[in-house]
A and B are shown apart, each in its own frame.
Chain A
Amino acid sequence: MNFKQWEEATTLPVSITVTKELVNAYYEAASIPKNDSHHVPPALPMIFYQDINVPWFQEQSFIHKDQLFHYEYPISIGDTLQCTISLISVEKRRQFLVLHQELIGRNEHKNIVFSAKSTLLKEAE
């Protein structure tokens, strides 16, 4: 995979609705006691990846190095978000390729609700 060719690429937007069932399944996996909060757990948006076609992710595995979520507004059950993933940069560092990418979710007014920046490592070929 030539990751460099995808540098600065952004996926097509995908509409994702945060359902109660999805959040409950996440609570169960993460041992989070179910509660009355309408806000979803802060690391939950990473599960949106499975709904987005990311061309540079096809049959690839990475070492997850850093992860940063930043919220402009909390996400609530029932929210629908337009999500995209961008490959911000690809750099070679020793025997690794370092990929910086960002998942962004926007509300119906196209305002950013959250961003999820990931730093991933891949052994250079």
Chain B
Amino acid sequence: MFSDSIKAGDTLEPLHIEITEQMVKKYGEVSGDFNPIHFDDKAAKEKGFPTKIIHGMLSMAIASNIVEPYLQRGYWVKSYEMKFKAPVLVGETISIIGTIASIEKESVTIDIIVSSPTYPQVAKSEIVLHVYK
């Protein structure tokens, strides 16, 4: 099993992903969320943001990429939690850092931190993976 080769405290391969306007546009289309704070600088500034921001759920979608190697090796996501701490500005590159928090016989818990050049912590997350039977 994949879990035989990992231990608590191990870090996952980090991801660095630029969130382009095109990605935000596509997420708006697929989710139906066309709130102008995601598409228009003026609207975002009126709400107190320095410029337009990405959908929080887009950062959650992107952050789950970090467990993809596990999903290819017989795990599935049992739970996925994210606490949103600060916005991600459109055009920024976010970094996703994952650490193995604990390993049980049939599950792995991974802590994830998402950061951006503007904010050291834009989101904090936990994913619990189970062995798929």
Instruction: Say whether B57 contacts A64, CB under 8 Å.
Output: yes
Give the CA-CA distance A91 to B7 in the complex, in Å.
41
Q: Is chain A's interface secondary structure helix, strand, loop, or mixed overall?
A: mixed
A94 to chain B, nearest CB (A): 16
A17 to chain B, nearest CB (A): 15
A5 at the interface (CB under 8 A from B): no
Number of contact residues on B: which range applies?
20 to 34
Number of contact residues on A: which range applies?
20 to 34
Number of A-B contacts (CB under 8 A): 96
Instruction: Say whether A30 contacts B61, CB under 8 Å.
Output: yes
Digit string of A21-34 for contact with B (CB within 8 Å is 1, else 0)? 01001101111110
Residues of B whose CB lies within 8 Å of any CB of A are 17, 23, 26-27, 29-33, 35, 37, 56-58, 60-62, 64-65, 68, 71-72, 76-84, 127, 132
8 extra interface residue pairs, beta carbon distance < 8 Å, beyond A61-B35, A64-B56, A65-B84: A29-B29, A29-B30, A30-B58, A32-B62, A43-B60, A61-B37, A66-B81, A66-B82
